[in-house]
Chain A
């Protein structure tokens, strides 16, 4: 039983990332009808927002510290971050320590801007083109985005640690009445899971309980009629694109401490996220979230030593295998709606 819980927990953080990316993909697909292959690149941009932000706030200048001396006996020069000047040494240090969570605030406007620019500048012209063209142009855009990041940040992963308070693991098993040290779980992964749950909840609440969300849902169901009612649905859909970009970005920011950001992390996640979307059902938001967690957890179960001994290699292919089985038995995916993407 404890093994079971461990695997579910391990699957949660990856599942959260899949769910968040798949949610954004489905939002874009459901509203604009565009298959966005650059969505993984948005996730990657989000992770690099964390990198950029933590570099920005640790910018420092040199001062000469008279009280200390270096090994030659001269007064020592030390780097002092500007944050220490502005907020004092203690608060400044903790701001730098909390760079990743604070980067959320930085990433929201950035990602909304990126999403807005992307939709208005490029995607807008592709509504009427075939899906193959949309896939290709966004695939090209993904290559461009990741090469730009590579040009600025290099090809190596950049370590972006979580705040001091969240490093290390805690003993999850004790809470459930197991012996100490049976179920250990890193703090940050739990944070990530709760964060993902909050973001997903917020997106659903936004769509469900606001007038804006209601119009968007109506537009998803029947775009033409909503347009005939005198509502500028394109403008709202543009905002939804920006929001989807923002969700992907947030997923990326918080994922930075789990996997050090590198320029191709977006592509790695994109392929799997597409599988997630298709498994969940094209155009179904709950389906995307459900399939994200499902596949994340399945992946972690498949990598249990007992399972790998029984079926070698299963941990590598389980997601694809599940996708193939589901697509062949339930053609619309787990929760797909009728008439979506059925040529």
Chain B
């Protein structure tokens, strides 16, 4: 189907299922129950899952396939966001032109950055991309204030009157797709459960599926093969008479365009942007997502993005009251003791959990969550048929 087959097709269908049913799958607990805080099925968070999924899928095309570790990808996301918000402020509140402009601008910027940075490899490449991203951040924060709005960033304001949208006097424009407003949702109630189906989320999810499909095609194409050759031994590739630069540059620009797409979608959802989107910690975050999920695998970045955003939003909400409720069944001394132990890891300290988990993944599971899943699967399979699990596990790790 659609030029992908076998295992890829099942992975694609799995992601499609997950994406389309996310409002239900992520809300497994009734609204009034004590577990309701683990529900992640609200539009804002679901949108972020898929948008960062797109960002990480794109990053994976560069890092997972070629092994070039860019520490400045957030710059492309930021450039895309600024392009999109200007389109929405000036031309049309329809999100399509904004997203297209976001991709174009991110592509142009990544051609420039990539052309210069790719002259070096290894840590030098990381530092060069980091330097470009930090420069963009610093400029967006200070000198480019007329374009970027400086520290406050840009929002859609009452005075904005886009050319193609007929707004009433003083009406604040809202992002839409041919009249379908991004903020609209249908709420489905069934028993104690409540499911929110948000227009914006489904737009993002469809875009993500298209992006994911393209990524699969890139992974399985001769071009993808070339990129893997760059990762495994660039020198040998050069000696055989192939110039690797055009391939790496193409990969860099493609992943920059994915970042721009993610940035455009972000603006389409919340119609605002600030320079902190380009700070190097944002670039670090997408690296974390890709590695945590499994660099070089198809589904890894999506998993990683979902996992980190879920942690960020859900674990950070747990406070000491919640912990006390959890351990209330224990004797008092025991309860306080456990709460004291767990408290630094949740709520505001969720970064600590993230850091520890990230370290554990890098140390024990260099292939990320995907490798973890494969290992568990192979243990089960070995129970049935000994030896068969190992081979299939090897086949599933394409970029190695």
Question: A residues touching B (Cβ–Cβ < 8 Å)?
Answer: 35, 122, 125, 129, 131-133, 135-137, 139-144, 147-148, 150-151, 267, 271, 274-275, 278, 282, 312-313, 316-317, 320-321, 323-324, 327-328, 331, 341-343
Contact = CB atoms under 8 A, between A and B. Distances in A.
Given A135-B69, A144-B352, A341 B358 contact: no
Given A132-B69, A133-B362, A312-B142, 17 more contacts: A125-B363, A131-B122, A131-B123, A133-B366, A135-B123, A136-B287, A140-B356, A140-B359, A143-B358, A147-B349, A267-B281, A313-B139, A313-B144, A316-B135, A328-B119, A343-B121, A343-B122
A140 B352 contact: no
Interface stretch (B125-133, B193-201, B216-224, B382-390): B125-133
Contacts of B358: 136, 139-140, 143
B97 interface: no
A151 B344 CA distance: 6
A331 B354 CA distance: 36
B234 interface: yes
A151 B349 contact: yes
A271 B137 CA distance: 14
A8 to B, nearest CB: 23
A132 B119 CA distance: 18
B123 A35 contact: yes
Nearest to A333: B124
A143 B351 contact: yes
B280 A282 contact: no
Contacts, number: 109
Contact of B131 (A129, A135, A147, A324): A324
A141 to B, nearest CB: 6
B98 interface: no
B355 A144 contact: yes
A339 B295 CA distance: 28
A282 B362 contact: no
B210 interface: no
A137 B359 CA distance: 5
A132 B67 contact: yes
A341 B134 contact: no
Interface of B: 67, 69, 116, 119-124, 126-128, 130-132, 134-135, 138-139, 141-144, 234, 280-281, 284, 287, 291, 344, 348-349, 351-352, 354-356, 358-359, 362-363, 366
Contacts of A143: 351-352, 354-355, 358
B352 A137 contact: no
22 contacts: A35-B123, A135-B123, A136-B358, A137-B359, A137-B363, A144-B355, A151-B344, A274-B130, A275-B127, A278-B123, A278-B124, A313-B144, A316-B135, A316-B141, A317-B139, A320-B135, A323-B127, A323-B128, A323-B131, A341-B124, A342-B122, A343-B121
A132 B287 CA distance: 11
What secondary structure prevails in chain A residues at the interface with B?
helix
B362 A140 contact: yes
Nearest to B356: A144
A105 B358 CA distance: 34
Contacts of A132: 67, 69
Nearest to B119: A328
A324 B138 CA distance: 15
A285 B208 CA distance: 47
Contacts of B139: 313, 316-317
Contacts of A140: 355-356, 358-359, 362
Contacts of B141: 316
Given A35-B123, A343-B234, A141 B69 contact: no
Nearest to B143: A313
A35 B126 CA distance: 12
A144 B349 contact: no
Contacts of B359: 137, 140-141, 144
A325 B194 CA distance: 56
A96 to B, nearest CB: 30
Contacts of B69: 132, 135
A136 B292 CA distance: 10
Contacts of A342: 122
A331 B119 CA distance: 9
Contact of B351 (A131, A147, A331, A341): A147
Nearest to A311: B143
A138 to B, nearest CB: 9
B355 A147 contact: yes
B349 A150 contact: yes
A83 to B, nearest CB: 31
Q: Which 7 A-B pairs have the closest CB atoms?
A: A313-B143, A143-B355, A316-B138, A147-B352, A140-B359, A320-B131, A144-B355
B350 to A, nearest CB: 9
A67 to B, nearest CB: 43
B123 A341 contact: yes
A289 B50 CA distance: 45
B75 to A, nearest CB: 12
Contacts of A313: 138-139, 142-144
Contacts of B291: 136
A93 B106 CA distance: 60
A316 B142 contact: yes
Contacts of A278: 123-124, 127
A321 B135 contact: yes
A326 B143 CA distance: 24
Contacts of A136: 287, 291, 358, 362
Nearest to B139: A313
Nearest to A271: B280
A175 B124 CA distance: 43
Contacts of A343: 121-122, 234
B349 A327 contact: no
Nearest to B136: A317
Nearest to B284: A139
Contacts of A312: 142-143
A319 B178 CA distance: 46
Nearest to A313: B143
Contacts of B363: 122, 125, 137
A275 B135 CA distance: 13
Contacts of B352: 143-144, 147-148, 151
A93 B18 CA distance: 66
Nearest to B366: A133
A39 to B, nearest CB: 13
